């Protein structure tokens, strides 16, 4: 089993071409400019200075990446970035308890990861009071969901939770069933492969309403409940994780029902900037 330890500050882009991916590659430690240009030896210039000294002087006058010096960029503590170990050519997240974990087709959760703080949020479920796996969320996300549902209720909006936490094994079953139904090529566009589902984090909830018969459908975007969520979820720390028009970045089709908890501060930034979680990590500066 091949294992290589790395720390990542990266967001991923998939489905798009190379030009879509280029801005993100510079964020990957082993593909950064520093790694490409690094050398164990240095050459002397005519002025007696080595290349490293010359480069340092030039960089003091001109930044090669102006975005890094933009004081308006959001900042985030290092602990909230993915810590990755490459195992069998897969980027496996080593700090899965991180509430900001970037989980997608490039970054997977360990197959044995089960959050240790799962609780059943005190909200209405589409399946009633049945106590089943998908009715659970991590404590912080569950409390925020309850607050959001109460805020919706105050605005005469009735929401229903449909599907929250999903174990690795359950995701494997769901994925295999979709492959059987539509084939693998189409399945990977709508269902996450085991380990790459945000539902395994215990931080995501699929939400619906009676106006769409409690289903998970794109029609949810057009009804009052879906519109209210899209405009207000960030106030409670949730983001619409797979928005329309960002499919080439998230790697998934538009899902107006899938909301991910990231905390109020990050969610507000992403809402105001119209960023996905991938785009957020491409811009945010580590502190």
Burial of 139 from C-beta contacts in 10 A (0-12 / 13-18 / 19+): middle
Per-residue model confidence (pLDDT) at position 61: 40
Percentages of the chain per state (helix, strand, coil), in multiples of 5: 40, 15, 40
Residue 198 contacts residue 99 (beta carbons within 8 Å): no
**Residue from 225, 255, 278, 279 carrying the catalytic annotation:** 255
Mind listing the pLDDT tens digit for each residue in 81-130? Answer: 999 999 988 999 999 999 999 999 999 999 999 999 999 999 999 999 99
Element (H, E) at 118: strand 118-119
Listed range (1-10, 161-170, 175-184, 245-254) with the worst mean pLDDT: 1-10
Calpha distance 161→121 (Å, rounded)? 9
Q: Which residue has the higher pLDDT, 27 or 222?
A: 222
Q: What is the mean pLDDT of the chain?
A: 82
Residue 158, C-beta contacts closer than 8 angstroms, at least 6 positions apart: 124, 152, 209, 210, 225
Calpha distance 167→193 (Å, rounded)? 12
Span 169-197, average pLDDT: 92
Buried b (16+ CB within 10 A) or exposed e, 40-56: eeeeeeeeeeeeeeeee
Span 226-230, average pLDDT: 98
Per-residue model confidence (pLDDT) at position 8: 40
Per-residue model confidence (pLDDT) at position 24: 36
How sure is the predictor about 160, in pLDDT bands with cuts at 50, 70 and 90? very high
Span 229-254, average pLDDT: 97
Give 137's Cβ-side CA count (13 Å radius): 25
Q: Among this protein's residues, is 255 annotated catalytic?
A: yes
Span 47-53, average pLDDT: 46
Per-residue model confidence (pLDDT) at position 70: 58
Calpha distance 287→39 (Å, rounded)? 27
Element (H, E) at 227: helix 224-232
Mind listing the pLDDT tens digit for each residue in 163-180? Answer: 999 999 999 999 999 999
Reading the block at residue 284, the tokens are 């945010």
Per-residue model confidence (pLDDT) at position 190: 84
What angle, rounded to 10 degrees, do the helices at 139-154 and 224-232 form?
120
How sure is the predictor about 71, in pLDDT bands with cuts at 50, 70 and 90? low
DSSP string, 120-186: --SS-BTTTT---GGG-EEHHHHHHHHHHHHHHHHTT---EEEE----HHHHHHHHHHHHHHH-HHH
Say if residue 23's pLDDT is above 60: no
Q: The domain 113-286: what is its CATH number? A: 3.30.1380.10
Calpha distance 113→115 (Å, rounded)? 7
How sure is the predictor about 41, in pLDDT bands with cuts at 50, 70 and 90? very low
Per-residue model confidence (pLDDT) at position 2: 39
């Amino acid at each position: 089993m091949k294992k290589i330890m790395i720390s990542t500050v990266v967001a991923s882009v998939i489905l798009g071409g190379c030009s879509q991916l280029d801005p993100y590659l510079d964020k990957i430690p082993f593909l950064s400019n520093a790694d490409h240009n690094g050398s164990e030896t240095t050459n002397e210039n005519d002025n007696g200075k080595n290349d490293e000294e010359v480069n340092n002087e030039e960089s003091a006058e001109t930044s090669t990446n102006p975005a890094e010096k933009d004081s308006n960029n959001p900042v985030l503590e290092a602990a909230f970035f993915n810590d990755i170990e490459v195992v069998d050519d897969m980027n496996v997240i080593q700090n899965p308890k991180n509430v900001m974990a970037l989980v997608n087709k490039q970054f997977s959760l360990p197959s044995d990861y089960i959050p240790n703080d799962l609780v059943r949020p005190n909200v209405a479920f589409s399946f009633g009071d049945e106590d089943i796996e998908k009715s659970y969320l991590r404590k912080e996300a569950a409390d925020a969901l309850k607050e959001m549902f109460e805020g919706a209720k105050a605005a005469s909006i009735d929401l229903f939770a449909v599907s929250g936490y999903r174990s690795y094994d359950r995701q494997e079953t769901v994925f295999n069933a979709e492959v059987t139904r539509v084939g693998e090529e189409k399945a990977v566009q709508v269902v996450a492969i085991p380990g790459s589902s945000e539902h395994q984090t215990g931080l995501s909830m699929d939400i619906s309403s009676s106006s769409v018969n409690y289903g998970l459908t794109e029609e949810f975007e057009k009804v009052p409940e879906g519109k209210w969520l899209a405009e207000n979820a960030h106030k409670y720390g949730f983001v619409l994780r797979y928005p329309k028009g960002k499919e080439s970045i998230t790697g998934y089709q538009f899902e107006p029902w899938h909301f991910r908890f990231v905390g109020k501060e990050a969610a507000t930034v992403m809402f105001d900037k119209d960023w996905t979680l991938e785009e957020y990590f491409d811009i945010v500066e580590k502190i």
